[in-house]
A and B are shown apart, each in its own frame.
Chain A
Amino acid sequence: MRIVRYALIVAAALSVASPVFAQGTGTSSSRQRPSTKPAASPLPKPVMSIRGFGAIDFQWMSASESFTQATGSSLMFGFGGGGEVVNLWKTLFVRGDFVTASATGERVIDPAQGITNGIPVTVKLNTIEVAAGWRLRLRKMPKYTPYAGGGILMAKYSDQSDLEQPTEKITESVNGYTVFGGIDAQVAKRLYVQLEAQYRMLPLTAGETAVPIVSGDKSDLGGFVARVMVSYELLKKK
């Protein structure tokens, strides 16, 4: 890009200067130098393909205090997979995936001071994502493709402990949104690795759903997610 820019500047400069030279030294046509830089060739047309992928999510929960008290950390580790259609129209892509995240800890009896009671608890967050976005093709680095997009989420939270009575089980289904951006790197003919940053919003509705145990904590099951995806190109349009 830089070389092109310089070429343009030089070309512009030459186009301004050449009449001056032409007036002083002869006809302008005999003094013009031809451009030495060939015109940039256009990028090949994007080709639609279908990929399957596996994903590993590192989610830092928005309700960080509540999750930290129960599980020792606001980080939940998840894994899953899905499929995407790349270059569906121009460089548009769509995808769908399912990820299950979990963490273990101890039940909390005093959220104000984070006092736990020694009873193990397992927390699960299962998320379905349907998303779309746009890929940006890099002429100089055709194997690397940044992208950005957004989508909808459908999540189900549950926690479980031994000795639990049926009325004590917390299960919440929550819908929300996600926005993300990342970079897709082709590492082999059909193999790709994507590194992606997401921000998820899965609001809990006061009075209708369970709420975080720490008063004032964000009433949301979303958060910041760092995702690693490994994709395999299953089909490619010829």
Chain B
Amino acid sequence: MTQYIPFAITAAYLVAAVIIGVRAGRGHNMSTVRAWGVGDRSLNPFVTYLLIGAGAVSAYTFMGSPGWAFSRGVPVMYVVVYVSFMAFLAWYLGPKVWHFGRKYGHVTQASTITDRYESPVLGGIAAAGVSIAGLAYAVLQTIGSAYILNVMSFGLIPTWMGVILVLGVISIYLYRSGLRAIGMTNALQGVLMFVTAWLVGLWAINHYTGGFSARPIFERLQEDMPQFLTLPGALGDMNYAFWTTSILISFFSIWQAHWISWMGAASPTGLRKATTFIPLYYIMLIPMIVVGFIGIFEYPEIGNPDQVAIQMAVDNMPVLLAGLLGAGTLAASMSSSEPQIHATALTYSKDIIQPLFKLSEERTGKLTRWLIFPIMALIIAPISIAEPASLVYILLIGYGFSGQAMPTMLGIFFWPRATKWGALTGMAAGLLVTVLFSFFIVHPLGIHAGIWGLMVNIPLFVIVSLLTRPSSDRALARYFERKQVAAEA
């Protein structure tokens, strides 16, 4: 019976998440977009810190990062670098986005785009485009969650049941409490993930080396397989160009869910404080990466590298620690899928359905939280269960869109001369190039496809903007300072 203790711990996390998530909405009228969508802008700096920090790392922490360390070696560190750099965007842009929300009532990224460019069409396209990435990401995380339940139950919970169970649990507290549920459960998830990663990592190092230094592992790699210690890595696919451009394109991508998280902070000062320290949270990736390096020697024949940490847990770890890893991985995947589901429901209702059907704010508010059910039932669940091979392509297209929206963001924060036609033209051309270089001529010269897309996108964005009429003074005045031209003598 002790073999089911890890499953019991993993399942206990689900119960805890429901309790915390449901309670999070107390005292707030969740029938309004402001409350359900941005939590009434009430999240304190600690919750904001973990909402953003934990939301960014996902099941990658416990599966992808040890898997990459196992198969490639040191190239895995590019993720550590880019998630840290993404904190710069939250730190610099977050307070501005917060003000857009507070002063102009924006609740989504697409709302700001629509307002700045005076183009519901551009806003709708942005909403649809970023939702592709968000939904694909949510599907991947849901598959990860179902996998954990399957492994921890020794196969008693098949994947399809795990998908339905996880989505069902999320739907309870997400419907009830919106962004506040995500914030509070992410606070629990964030702490759990941080503690678990260190406990598992230190246990694994001690188990395989007898001490708490990872040096013996890397000394052995120096002797036997030095290709794991340097770029381009054991698979030879991470040269300097790809390291650099992969980090840059990830840095340039502002996810809708992150935008909404920024809007949920209680104050811009608190948001600034929280985001300053977000990179330090990602130290927790390091012990799990070391677990992956250990797996090179302990599980050389494993079929799926992403399973190396979980397999190590099931085979060797004390049941309590294995249970924590199960709970931590489940928490990680759920902490990343919830914001995407929430953001998609919010943007579909505010940026597509409301303008299309000219709904009132009240009706939109009531509709928004209900949308999570068809999104989960008709999109996420079936795709998670089917797990089509095309999922990775859908994800790449979605990521590509997020990256190509960067010039549009420049026009919101930095350049008043940007126009909707410049944004649309650049985005369309950039996305075309990104798709071409993602699927057909893959990453030419080792440069990420998204960067090639931006090389076409940005010049077109600038040229077409300069050739077309800017937004009205009324719209621009919301985002930029006016210049008073000195009167002539």
Tell whether A and B belong to one assembly.
Answer: no
Chain A residues close to B by CB (< 8 Å): none
Chain B residues close to A by CB (< 8 Å): none
